[in-house]
């Protein structure tokens, strides 16, 4: 069974990339289950119901979020009831929504998808290591495969998390920094890892945003309202190849494609 995890989808360009490139990727790699990070999918910040439906209509099975989960207030109207949408599990317990879900795919396989957020250079949420330990007690007897979207800034924190849970999680896949890293591998215990999946959105941009605006903000050190960039679009993701008999990861392959205008 092949599982596709798509890096942070940014605005309309990201959704255009999915409409244009995803069908061929699904056919070529014989994808049976798709996960995408959608925290920037609506206008570059947050998620709306309309955009969520658009992504699900592209046959994406699960959407994960991150530190921009609450940026669009409309999400409070639907996050609690949409089980295919998950937000970081280490937010305070009274936050709406869910931190993981268990879904069926392939030949009656149960896939647990967990969303967690790092704490280095980000909000001081609950410890993702301890939260994952607690969740494992709930999940490990229910799921055949456990995949974590670890939404974090620091490479060291992502690596530490993956090494700590090596052999207990099937994949730890980093999101948030919008630049695909070249370190996809399988750790000695069998956990597939990449520091960052990358970004699905404007190719000629700075992390999906208009280049001139980002440069102005950096150079002036004054507030600038950033806008999603225009032009060519890209899709970045990884494919996990799962062993049909053991449910372990056989391989992890990076995908990076650009669609010209």
User: Hey, which residues are catalytic here?
Assistant: 68
The Cα–Cα gap between 198 and 178 comes to 4
CB burial readout 105-114, b (16+ within 10 A) else e: bbeebbbbbb
For the chain, the farthest-separated pair of C-alpha atoms sits apart, in whole angstroms, at 57
The Cα–Cα gap between 155 and 116 comes to 15
Residues comprising the chain, all counted:
261
Tell me the β-bridge partners of 63: 36, 85
Quote the distance between the C-alpha of residue 119 and its chain's center. 17
């Amino acid at each position: 069974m092949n599982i596709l995890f798509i890096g942070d989808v940014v605005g309309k360009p990201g959704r255009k990339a999915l409409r244009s490139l995803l069908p061929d990727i699904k056919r070529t790699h014989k994808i049976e289950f798709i996960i995408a990070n959608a925290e920037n999918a609506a206008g570059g910040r947050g998620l709306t119901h309309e955009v969520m439906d658009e992504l699900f209509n592209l046959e994406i099975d699960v959407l994960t979020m991150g530190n921009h989960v609450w940026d669009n207030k409309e999400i409070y109207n639907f996050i609690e009831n949409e089980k295919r949408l998950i937000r970081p599990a280490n937010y305070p317990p009274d936050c709406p929504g869910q931190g993981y879900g268990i879904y069926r795919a392939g030949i009656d396989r149960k896939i647990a998808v967990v969303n967690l957020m790092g704490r280095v250079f980000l909000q001081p949420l609950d410890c993702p290591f301890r939260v994952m330990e607690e969740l494992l007690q709930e999940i490990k007897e229910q799921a055949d495969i456990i995949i974590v979207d670890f939404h974090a800034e620091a490479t060291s924190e992502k690596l530490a998390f993956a090494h700590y849970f090596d052999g207990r999680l099937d994949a730890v896949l980093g999101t948030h920094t919008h630049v695909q890293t070249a370190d996809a591998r399988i750790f000695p215990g069998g956990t597939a890892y990449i520091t960052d999946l990358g970004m699905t959105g404007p190719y000629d941009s700075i992390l999906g945003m208009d280049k001139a605006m980002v440069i102005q903000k950096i150079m002036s050190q004054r507030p600038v309202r950033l806008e999603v960039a225009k032009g060519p679009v890209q899709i970045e993701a990884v494919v996990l190849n799962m062993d049909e008999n053991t449910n372990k990861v056989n391989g992890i392959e990076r995908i990076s494609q650009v669609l010209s205008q």
